[in-house]
A = this chain, B = another copy of it.
């Protein structure tokens, strides 16, 4: 997506070889007009499919997911990060290791908002090692629902998550795919 790549080039800040900060439009400050275009693009890509529900993770996924959901006309459910390890009966739970924060995140979704047979589109802001996306897919499968695919805003294509999950049969559409980045040479897209 040209508009998004331009914005990443202009406002993204590379730290080291694998951290990309996009706080100015996606992770702290949000640009609603760009998010609206991103939502529209996800609908262009997945609108031919039956989508009963969009599933994302708090917090940064919420804005993207809700903008997309306007076009799909379906509800969003956002998985919550939970600090308690107790397994509750009324939630689906999975966990995702965050390489950024070096912590294991347990994420939960109430059983009330995800049902057997539903077709669920996964949406997230970043895809790198694929931990979050695996956890979301895991929750969809626990519910007996079907993942339609995953809409990702920025994929770090030099990290293995995207290729691995595609290899496992998940359809992934990333609006910007970064082939390499560094503080010196900037960002190269696929």
Cβ distance A68 to chain B, nearest Cβ, rounded Å: 9
Q: Which of B25, B36, B77 contacts A28 (CB 8 A)?
A: B77
Pick the contact of A29 from B67, B73, B113 — CB < 8 Å?
B113
18 interchain pairs (CB within 8 A)?
Answer: A23-B110, A24-B113, A28-B78, A29-B77, A30-B66, A30-B69, A32-B66, A32-B69, A32-B70, A33-B73, A36-B70, A58-B58, A62-B62, A62-B63, A63-B66, A63-B76, A66-B66, A66-B67
Given the known interface contacts A66-B63, A67-B66, the answer about A30 and B78 at a Cβ–Cβ threshold of 8 Å is: yes
| Residues of chain B lying within 8 A (CB to CB) of residue A69 | 30, 32
> Nearest chain B CB to A13's CB is how many angstroms away?
10
Q: Is A185 an interface residue (CB 8 A)?
A: no
Tell me, rounded to whole Å, the shortest Cβ–Cβ distance linking A129 to chain B. 22
Residue in A33, A66, A67 whose Cβ sees the most chain B Cβ within 10 Å: A66
Is A112 engaged at the interface, CB distance under 8 Å to the other chain? Answer: yes
A59 part of interface (Cβ distance < 8 Å)? yes
Contact A75 B110 (CB under 8 A): no
A27 CB to closest chain B CB (Å) equals 9
Chain A residues numbered 39-84 whose CB sits less than 8 Å from any CB in chain B: 58-59, 62-63, 65-67, 69-70, 73-78, 80
Decide: B23 and A75 in contact? CB cutoff 8 A.
Answer: no
A122 to chain B, nearest CB (A): 15
Q: How far is the CA of A30 from the CA of B63 in the complex (A)?
A: 11
User: In the complex, what's the smallest C-beta–C-beta distance from A49 to chain B, in angstroms?
Assistant: 18
Among B32, B36, B58, B65, contact of A76 (Cβ-Cβ < 8 Å): B32
A116 touches B (CB below 8 Å):
no
